[in-house]
Structure 1
Amino acid sequence: MQKKLLLITLLLLHIYSAKAQKEYYFPGETFSNDIPSPYSYLGYHVGEWHTRYDRLVGYFQLLADKSDMAKLVTIGYTNQLRPLVVLVISNKENISNLESIRTNHLKLVDPTFPMPDVSDMPAIVNLAYSVHGNEPSGGEASILTAYWLLASQSELAKEIRSNAVVMIDPAINPDGRDRHTNWANMHKGSPPVADPLDREHNEIWPSGRVNHYWFDLNRDWLPLAQVELQNKIAWYHTWYPNVVGDFHEMGTNATYFFEPTKPFGSENPVIPRKNYDEINNKFATYFAKALDDIGSLYWTKEVFDNSYPGYGSTYPDIQGGLGLVFEQASSRGHIQSSQRGDITFQFTIRNQLKTSIATMEAGVKEREYMHRYLREYFQTAITEASKDKAKGYIFGDESDDSRNRLFLKLLLDHKIKVLENDKDITSEGKSFKKGKSWIVPTSQPQYRMVRSMFEKVTTFADSVFYDASSWTMALAYGMPYATQTVVSGKKIEKLPSQTLTFPADGKYVAYLVDWSDYFAPKFLHHIQSAGVHVEVTAQPFTSNTDQGSKEFTAGSLVIPTAFQKLSAEELRKALKEAADLAGQNVFASTTGFSLKGIDLGSGSISAIQKPKVLMLVGQGTSQYEAGEIWHLMDTKVGMQITKVDLGLFGRVNLFDYTTLILPSGNYSSLSAPQIAHLKDWLSRGGTIISMRTASQWLQSKEIIQEEFVTAEAAKGPESVPFADARNLSGAQEIGGSIYLGKLDTTHPLGFGYKNSEIPVYRNTTLFFKPSKNKSQTPVIYTANPLLGGYVSPANLEKIKQSASLLVSTVGQGRVIHFIDNPNFRGTWFGTNKLFFNAIFFGDKI
């Protein structure tokens, strides 16, 4: 009897709990019993636990199986093979006619089509959640949003189903989301602990914010370095949504933020003012009402950046839609104390749910307006282009086919029109060869994206930046380019095919490979892994090869047929496999006697030691820089690097490694004996690659003895109003800007570069003076270095006096200091080779 009473009591408690939660999220709503509720699938109420991604996808699949108003689409997979899904919801008729809706909608994007009748066209609304995996309220809200849209019997839900195609990304970053989900669930107390110091609220390194390679995916919509955004952008351009909701979290002591963002100072210069002045304010009324209805506080018109095109809330603005950033104060767990009291996970989810519904409502109510704006946006792009003095941009690097192809792919992925260049052209003092260069016309619907790729902007309405202030992708790729007043050529639809050179079978003294191509390091690593002995030249020479006279610059690879452990046949096979894998041209010579310059037996040609690399990671180091390096070596070289947590450094014998990489960070946890071991290894010939603040730490431990620039800051006002102090301080930061450096191409770190000028990316206020050894500062800044972005006058003067890249010799070893990040966000292909050279040729310094 007691057991029966207990079961009845538990059942009544469950019914009461379910009713209470329904009233919390959906007061007064009636739902169809044909649509399974989240609880019926999950076994808990949304917000009681953090939902694993597989269960989230499972629920979406259940909805698609149970309802003819839903369709689940897989658009790709993450690095950890989690599916990237989009749940499409509309009424039955729209779901059965998605392709015709899509093709008709795309007519708005192409001004060459007559303007379609928009009165009956559904709004295309994309709700995108959890691009930062440890901002989980959005992913949970996606569950409730999908359920409400399919099951609610309200007039609003019916209107949205009839007049919109809603596409829900439950998590753009599934790998990071599950990392945080597991952390929060495994540390959940019973009852949950609100104390911010509790372990639940403080993740270990790396955080769930980042993806598998520790990248911030909300910075990747422009660079497309990561597979998640490569798939997302490919999907995006099949639909061009009218409205995109981008749902985030912020500090626990905040309230809720929605657009508009900070006027002018946080706005992108290529986006029409109508977006900011009219459309954002129109939509904001819907969000304000939704939060007012439940008494939630919010703020607008402050702080958050909308300028960088790589954000999920900015990229849609540059594609004729409306991108909307939402920021919810985070419980970062199940409950956490804040200045306003305890914030529960359910509270954060409810706010995201209400603005999700408001986004769909606004999209439907304003759908005709947004359809007309989409056409207007691309039409005015062509009109603006007609007034641009530049009728196009010509680009191409004659000596680096791979980097050309990487940049071409980026342009094509963003649906930018590119033309073949069918003649030799000289423009702005630069030469561009037929077949080795391409032209991007400005007169095209993607004119504003063209500007984002090529323009150099140095004047701004504000001096405080939330993030990068410059993003000229042509500079990031180190791509020679110039403006054009006349454009012509055949439009390319795909990457041009490669024709590689490989010697016919024969008796050769050596095989030769130019180091200029971006993927030459991939070739080198592959043949070294196959057991091939490889050498490098420190001096240029001209050889009579199987393809005739060929000049090889410093850094070129020399593979003698003598001194090999492999047979001649095995050697050729290894070289051919590597050449095909890395897309490299291989030449061969029957003589070691050069036509010009040093001969192949010169002392200026030396063996390349196969590198074995260790990178310190973990709490205190930059997960972003470490991830950039890991991703670079994995995906661009195919080379293993050992990642060791700082706490395990005591177990490391550095003499098992050739190279130690120190990402930016705090290394104060290293003990005196560990530092002594590092010094000993370094002085005996080791190579340290030090990133930004890691060099500052090395200086503090007297491992290196360089000097900082101590130029006095420009004199400011005698006093500053307290309210202005934050902005004045922020203006002295370097959030991210681009500078022109002068490169020593004879230095081992400069091997493979043909041009002595190189764009570099700086996002630090750390200023080292050039080395006292005048040959050990491979990259210094030019007299007028600023290429793009904001920098204060005082910091610009310091930059002019400082080094971008320098080397400290320590005994028989060396420390290579990257003060500017050569691998920033996986997209600085123009400076990656500096980093490759540090790994493969560090011991040549």
Structure 2
Amino acid sequence: MKKLLLFMAFCCHALLPAQDYFLKNYQPYNPEIPSPETYLGYVIGEMHTRHDLIVSYLEKLAEVSDRASISYYGKTHEGRKLVMLTVTTPDKLEKLEELRQQHLKLTQPENQEAIPENMPVFINLAYNVHGNEPSSSEAALLAAYTLVASEHPAIARYRDQAVIFLDPTINPDGRDRHTQWANSFRSNPLVADPQDAEHNEMWPAGRTNHYWFDLNRDWLLGINPESRGKLNWYHHWYPNVVTDFHEMGTQSTYFFEPMKANGSLDPIMPKENYEDLNNLFGDYFAAALDSIGSLYFTKEVFDGTYPGYGSSYPDLQGGLGLLFEQASSRGHKQTTAYGEITFPFTIRNQYVSSLTTVKAAVENKEYLKDYQRRFFRSALKNADDSRIRGYKFNATNDQNRVKAFIDKLLLHRIKVYESADSGYVVPTKQPQYRMVQTMFETYDKYRDSVYYDASAWSVANFYNMNYQPVSSLKLGNEISSAETVVNVKIVERSDYAYILDWDDYNTPAALYYLQKEGLVLASAFKPFTVRSDNGSKKFNYGALVLPVQLQKKDSGQVHELVKKAQEKFQVPVHAVSTGLNLNGVDLGSRFIKPLKEPKAAMLVGNGVRSYEAGEVWHLLDTRVHMPITKIPMRNLGRADLSKYESLVMVSGNYHLTDAEKDKIVSWVKQGNTLITIGSASEYIIDKKWVDEKLTKVEKDSLAIPERLPYVDADEHLGKESVGGVILKASLDTTHPLGFGYRDQVIPVYKNNEVWLAPSKNEYATVAKYTANPHIDGFITKKNMENYLKPSASIITSPLGSGRVVLFADNPNFRGSWYGTNKLFLNALFLGEYIEIPN
């Protein structure tokens, strides 16, 4: 019987490692502190652990040990807790605020005090930003237990010389989506076949958060509560080292930094960071992984050029961001070319890398602290060496867009001031100089042409700010909160009409609010100048007119609703007492057209690009407060489209049946609006739903390519992809899609190879790339000359009594393109009036 038990134990270890598989190197452990296995009731790796259990285990550690405390830095869209476990010695926990203040002096260039010898190094172990890359959160449980409970001399030393912040799950909503899937389809015995359902999540899978955003692209953009909470935490602490744990394809091995060479010709982060520090830490990771027999690679792929990753943002804050990529079991066990990869195996690599990070940081803590101090001091020196003293910006007719941009600057602790003459100014000489560069500088020369992500991120262009560098400063008051930027005067009561300026970013939200309250508003299709309660005022295309006496509510009720909308959305509203205008059309003109409350739907599901669908959903949910029906592709055949006036098709790999195609086309022909983005626009042109063309170049007209080495094929082919570039487009501001814009040239974002030929109808090309369109980012000369310059960014096309709005470029990219959101919202709110003259 004893031999049988030993045999069973061996088999269990072979299939499912016991606790010693992970923890044996750091014995002994305090028996009064429960291990993850004891607390959860299963061995780590046997199941995927729900986020609430992860949180409750860390809370238990903080409860039973004086070496740990827990804090909460926010909640997700779905209400899950975002937590941070702090581990150090009890005496340091008691004086944590004192240590923080001491540490923050490293980020203050003017501080001349010597760095205290006993000051700990601050380490942030951060896990699971992509929800379906689950091994790292399991490793976080093991790391937390080890750091709190181990009595091993090495761990005791780490606690003594470091403050360790453990963030177990950056993306709890996505993680739980994947956890539910993996546990639901787990078999007994485990199924390693890659075709099994366990290893193949349904759309949209667990990578992204609630609104299907990739949170590992959101550090710079700060759109979601997970990122905003983490950024506020980050700038409260400025850790010296930050980990960023991921998973990659099952057939791979393990990656740690150093990365591929930075793509920028003149990167703004110090070379010391991505060469010296990464190589220093890389030696530690290699030794640790060698000791357990794990294969790995470095330098071949991934780059830290984009500043919005969890592994690159810390590099711009004087810290060291570290990327790890583990081949994924995508479930509990899966077959690979090397045999079977198990969930426990993937967890162990992440666990070992976690503790090795702490070891390397502790053993090099004086270097890390000195580096952080030099980093911020060099920021001021670099600013002094530049002829640019600041960046002045504004968007005169849209203060809510300015407010959103200033909020983004302040989120990154960039100092912003009112300009003494007009607008706002950001001085370059400040500790966050490198973030100032990130927000405003553009580039057109690159060392490498193949990017893991975007090659353009000048955020001022995302917001369509009118900005310029200045060589001298005229500073007014410092802006401490974006809430002070917009101050609207509450509108007086009118018995005749109210006018809302469509130029303002928030006006579509105010419009929908008033429509839901039963009011009817109209849009001006020609400009006019009124005599209002605030004096003479010129209104642009799209201005909203709310005639009081034509409503079903009395004038007092209308006024109360208008005031509520104004207070809620901080939009400018003007009361008028006459329909006779000083210039332009009068308020009763046929060019003032009543608007219907929009009813919109969007196709989602298999084949649809979830990122773009999530961006539409997020925009309407969080900023316009307008519902959109998400119709799964599997339900399209039986869906009742007559309930909607607008249907959105974002990029995707569509395979519609003839019946589904006929259903959509017939619905559009009845007078409705189909809005397509990116490859969806390409799809409907290819399928001849509309009489439009794509920009084509005959292969015979291209030069015969030179002979190149086979080994370089991936690099040469990869650079033809448009990973992300900011371009200038000429916009027809008299077209309903261009309402709310004053400038006829606007920045747009392109991250695809969708090339729309300008429409044959001279009135239907709404936006076309300019003759010299480049603003920021890498694009090959071939793509620029042969495809981009001849092409359009937006066209409209008739289809029966309806119309199709075709976007080549995504106007809602990553929830951050405030400058082009209005183009998309115009399609929803004004689509019924888009006519294509013959």
Q: TM-score range by the shorter chain?
A: over 0.9
* Residue from 754, 776, 793 that aligns with 1:766: 754
Deviation at 1:27, TM superposition (A): 3.2
1:233 corresponds to:
231
**Shift in Å at residue 267 of structure 1?**
8.9
Q: How does 1:346-365 map to 2 (within 5 A)?
A: 346-365=344-363
Give 2:767's aligned amino acid. Answer: V
Q: What per-residue deviation string (whole Å, max 9, x for no partner) do you get for residues 163-185 of structure 1?
A: 00000110100000000001000
Match of 2:23 in 1: 26
Instruction: Name the counterpart of 2:784.
Output: 796
Match of 2:567, SS?
Answer: helix
> What SS does structure 2 have at the residue aligned with 1:523?
helix
Equivalent positions of 1:583-594 (< 5 A) are 583-594=570-581
> SS of the counterpart of 2:323?
strand
Give the letter for the 1:198 counterpart: D
Secondary structure at the aligned position of 2:237 is classed as: coil
1:736 aligned residue (709, 713, 724): 724
CA contact (8 A) 1:267 1:307 kept: no
Q: 1:605 aligns with which of 561, 572, 592?
A: 592
Instruction: Report the Cα distance in structure 2 between the residues aligned to 1:23 and 1:99, rounded to whole angstroms.
Output: 36
Partner residue, 2:168: 170
Partner of 1:650: 637
CA distance in 1, matches of 2:280, 2:6: 48
Query: Per the alignment, do residues 10 and 564 of structure 1 end up closer, same or farther by CA in structure 2, a change over 3 Å counting?
Result: farther
How far apart are the structure 2 equivalents of 1:663 and 1:473? 23
Give the aligned partner of residue 145 of structure 1.
143
2:130 to 129, 132, 151: 132
Q: Structure 1 residues 419 and 634 mapped into 2: Cα distance closer, same or farther (>3 Å)?
A: same
Kept in 2: contact 1:268–1:307 (CA 8 A): no
Pairwise CA distance, 1:488: 3.1
- TM-score normalised over the length of structure 1: 0.96
- The question of whether the paired residues in 2 share the 8 Å contact of 1:267 and 1:306 is answered with no
Residue of structure 2 aligned with 1:808, choices 778, 797, 808: 797
| One-letter code aligned to 2:680 | A
SS across alignment from 2:158:
helix
Aligned to 1:199: 197
Counterpart CA distance in 2 for 1:519 and 1:712 is 45
Other-structure match for 1:722: 710
1:757 is aligned to 2:754: no
8 Å Cα contact 2:494/2:559 also seen in 1:
no
Kindly, what percent of the aligned residue pairs are identical? 47
Query: Does the Cα contact within 8 Å between 1:712 and 1:794 map onto a contact in 2?
Result: no
Q: Does 2:47 match 1:59?
A: no
Unmatched segments (≥5 aa) in structure 2: none
Q: Aligned letter for 1:697?
A: Y
How far apart are residue 723 of structure 1 and its match? Answer: 0.5
Q: What residue in structure 1 maps to residue 377 of structure 2? A: 379
Q: Does 1:680 align with 2:677?
A: no
SS at match of 2:722: coil
Write out aligned runs for 1:824-843 (5 A). 824-843=813-832
Q: Does 1:369 align with 2:367?
A: yes
Task: Measure how far apart 1:719 and its partner are.
Answer: 2.4
Deviation at residue 486 of structure 1 after TM alignment: 0.8
Displacement, 1:275? 0.7
Match of 1:566 in 2: 553
Asked whether the 8 Å contact 2:748–2:809 carries over to 1, the reply is yes
1:422-821 to 2 correspondences below 5 Å: 422-423=420-421, 434=422, 437-489=423-475, 490-495=477-482, 496=484, 498-508=486-496, 510-668=497-655, 670-711=656-697, 715=703, 717-797=705-785, 798-821=787-810
Q: CA deviation at 1:671?
A: 2.6
Aligned partner of 1:256 in structure 2 is 254
Q: Distance in 2 between matches of 1:16 and 1:518?
A: 60
> TM-score with structure 2 length normalisation?
0.96
1:451 counterpart letter in structure 2: Q
* Secondary structure of the corresponding residue to residue 19 of structure 2: helix
Alignment partners' CA distance in 2, 1:150 and 1:741: 56
CA contact 1:617–1:626 (8 Å) conserved in 2? yes
| Alpha carbons 2:262, 2:304 under 8 Å: kept | no
Matched with 2:80 is 82
Give how far 1:192 is off. 0.8
Cα 1:523–1:683 change in 2 (3 A) is: same
Distance in 1, matches of 2:688 and 2:695, equals 17
Q: Alignment partner of 1:440: what SS?
A: strand
CA apart distance, 1:461: 0.2
Distance 1:726 1:779, change over 3 A: same
Alpha-carbon separation, structure 1, partners of 2:738 and 2:405: 21
Query: Is the contact between residue 417 and residue 440 of structure 1 (CA under 8 Å) also seen in structure 2?
Result: yes
Q: 2:254·2:297 contact (CA, 8 Å) conserved in 1? A: yes
Render the CA deviation track for 1:216-261: whole Å, top value 9, x for unaligned.
0000000001110000000000000000010000001111000010
> 1:610-664: CA deviations, max 9, x gaps?
1100000001100000000000001110000000100001221212110000011
Distance 2:672 2:581 in 1: 34
Distance 2:723 2:310 in 1: 19
Structure 1 partner of 2:180? 182
Q: Note if contact 1:108-1:116 (Cα within 8 Å) is conserved in structure 2.
A: no
Q: Secondary structure at the match of 1:84?
A: strand
**What letter corresponds to residue 662 of structure 1 in structure 2?**
M
Give the match for residue 429 of structure 1.
none
Q: 1:426 aligns to what?
A: none
Structure 1 position 118, deviation (Å)? 3.5
Task: After TM superposition, give the deviation of residue 491 of structure 1 in Å.
Answer: 2.1
Q: Is the 8 A contact 1:537 1:554 kept in 2?
A: yes
Query: How many pairs were matched up?
Result: 826
Aligned to 1:342: 340
Deviation at 1:506, TM superposition (A): 4.1
d(CA) in 2 for partners of 1:465, 1:227: 27
Q: CA RMSD in A?
A: 1.8
Partners in 1 of 2:768 and 2:336 — Cα distance? 47
2:529 counterpart letter in structure 1: T
Distance 1:218 1:716, change over 3 A: farther
Cα distance in 1 for residues equivalent to 2:821 and 2:344: 45
Check conservation: 1:691, 1:821, Cα contact below 8 A.
yes
C-alpha contact (below 8 Å) 1:266/1:305 kept by paired residues: no
Most deviating of 822-831 and 576-585: 576-585
Q: Shift of residue 398 of structure 1?
A: 0.8
**Counterpart Cα distance in 2 of 1:459 and 1:12:** 62
The runs of at least 4 aligned residues of structure 1 exceeding 4 Å deviation read 8-20
Unmatched 5+ stretches in structure 1: 424-433
Cα distance in 2 between the residues matched to 1:548 and 1:816: 38
Say whether residues 1:70 and 2:68 are aligned partners.
yes
Question: For residues 199 and 15 of structure 1, do their structure 2 counterparts lie closer, same or farther at Cα, with a shift above 3 Å needed?
Answer: closer
Q: Deviations over 1:459-493 (max 9, x none)?
A: 10011111100000000000000011111323222
Question: Match for 2:508: what amino acid?
Answer: P
Q: Distance in 2 between matches of 1:39 and 1:656?
A: 52
> Structure 1 residue 815: deviation in Å?
0.7
Q: CA shift at 1:17, angstroms?
A: 6.0
